[in-house]
Amino acid sequence: MEWLEPWWPTDELPQAFRDSFKRQLALEVGPEHVMHGLPVRLIGRGNGDDALFEILDGTGRVADVHLTWSKGTERLPWPITTIYTSIAAWADTGMIRDHKDWAGEP
């Protein structure tokens, strides 16, 4: 898959870097959040605080999450999260949208 700016893959980054995002997600989501308790792996970073997580439950889903980097659990709807049925579905919609916004395209 071709990653479009501002998104980039994290697979070649140190495990400690990827784990820090996983820990931050766990810190921010409360028991009512859609991401609470889901096994995840960071697979991409976007502009600012955007992170793409693979949901490791066998469904192939991914979650585009806007982390807040707070020091505790956020109140809903934070962190803002969109779940896609697959990385291809995210690439066709979320990544394209973010790329156009980043590039200043209509």
Provide the token pair at 3. 């990653």
Task: Check: pTM over 0.85? Answer yes or no.
Answer: yes
Dump pLDDT digits (tens) for 32-85.
Answer: 999 999 999 999 999 989 999 999 999 999 999 999 999 999 999 999 999 999
| CB contact at 8 A, 30 and 75 | yes
More confident residue, 22 or 106: 22
